[in-house]
Structure 1
């Protein structure tokens, strides 16, 4: 049984981060609520330097996550190859009546409230698999 060699961590440029964000349909939005940090998976779209999504006007996200700083993370992991990438968007989450680019939510029920996360910072990292020539 051979041991897996560690991969190399590479910092991604901003454009590559946006391209990777566009490549995935689901991410996680995180905020600090009154009972601690909350992380919720959501489907989303990218719109002109922002992440847009829809939720119920009465959801925990609508009550606690709007009009505050949030984190939004998307990733892809290949467990077999020990590789993957992760992108983090940090910014203010606001209500957006014009979130026409927000995708139709995957869950049932009325998700009529559009939200927009204007990116204040975008960062990403890629874990490249170990090279075969390593011994």
Structure 2
């Protein structure tokens, strides 16, 4: 199947849709990496981390106890963001979790760290709020029309 021939000038501005809580949590579960943001000893910081969503809808991650992340975020408010972007079609979504980050008493089994070294300090973001947005394609756009034509001829 060939890729649709979509030119930048064919793409029309999309619509912004607000996501509900259950959809936000489903999207959070669908991605392995997000970004945690906090204000700490070096000012504002944002770092990518791999994570898991706990059964009780909290974000859990593992780090080394000597990291800036570990020193700065324990018992503090943080933001956690996950997104997915399709730049070619100007579509995507973003979910933002705000909450308190606490140290876990025991090293969580998940997520498995992606980097080497001792990552035995578990951190847990207890969500206070979760919100999300999705950029949807414009209805009737040239890009949508091209996709429909392509789907018809490849079926």
TM-score by length of 1: 0.94
Match of 1:117 in 2: 125
Cα deviation code 1:2-42 (max 9, x no counterpart): 34210000000000000000000000000001221100100
Shift of the alpha carbon at 1:106?
Answer: 0.1
Match of 2:57 among 49, 64, 76: 49
Match of 1:78 in 2: 86
Bigger Cα Rg: 2
Q: Take 1:41 and 1:86, find their aligned partners in 2: how far apart are those partners?
A: 15
Match of 2:115 in 1: 107
SS in 1 for 2:118: coil
Shift of the alpha carbon at 1:101?
Answer: 4.6
SS in 2 for 1:126: strand
2:44 is the alignment partner of 1:19:
no
- Higher-helix-fraction structure: 2
Give the alignment's Cα RMSD to 1 decimal: 1.4
Q: Take 1:111 and 1:40, find their aligned partners in 2: how far apart are those partners?
A: 15
SS in 1 for 2:134: strand
Q: Take 1:80 and 1:3, find their aligned partners in 2: how far apart are those partners?
A: 11
Given that 1:52 and 1:99 are in contact with CA atoms closer than 8 Å, whether structure 2 keeps it comes out as no
- Higher-strand-fraction structure: 1
User: What does 1:85-104 correspond to in 2, within 5 Å?
Assistant: 85-98=93-106, 100-104=108-112
